[in-house]
Amino acid sequence: MPYKNLILAHVQRYDTLDTKARTNGVQFIGSVQNMDMIGDGVYDTAICLEVLEHVPDPFQAVREIGRILKKDGTAIISVPHLSRLHEEPNDFFRYTHYGMRHILESKGLDVLDIQRTGALFSFLGHQTSTLILCLVWHIKFVKSLFFFLNKWFCVLPCYFLDQKFFGKTAFPLGYVFVARKK
């Protein structure tokens, strides 16, 4: 739940779902493809970040997201386009904005906004960051130092290079969709 504190500043209620209790505070254990433990039309907003690439049936997952939303409820969904294999064997898809729009609209959600996240330099920088941080993650002081250095010498330069060279690109790192239930 890396965005919990940011989200809590804007909501009255914050519920979570995961396939297992990876961290404290997970209210619902299950799959986004089958949220029977949640009633119809319960939420004003559903946030699903970097999840749909890990489910074998993203159409069913989006149907379930729409089901738990109130009428005119908002879904905020992020998906990768460029990514390394991860969380194997549960790494099924990468998305274009055309494909994701089709999934959302076919399940009764109107796409209000699509934002690209990153581009080719961000993808390459993320791979470099992952490799370096994995090597030092278990060393307390070094971990903090490398996390700080990574931000200033890898993440931010990659972001600025993407802005300069890949403003409108065929190489998006991923997408964030905002959609409304009809």
Q: What are the pLDDT tens digits along the chain (182 aa)?
A: 889 999 999 999 999 999 998 888 899 999 999 999 999 999 999 999 999 999 999 999 999 999 999 999 999 999 999 988 899 999 999 999 999 999 999 999 999 999 999 899 999 998 998 888 888 888 888 888 988 999 999 999 999 999 888 877 778 999 999 999 99
Find out whether 26 and 18 touch, Cβ atoms under 8 Å.
yes
Q: What is the pTM of this model?
A: 0.88
Distance CA 70, CA 108 (A): 12
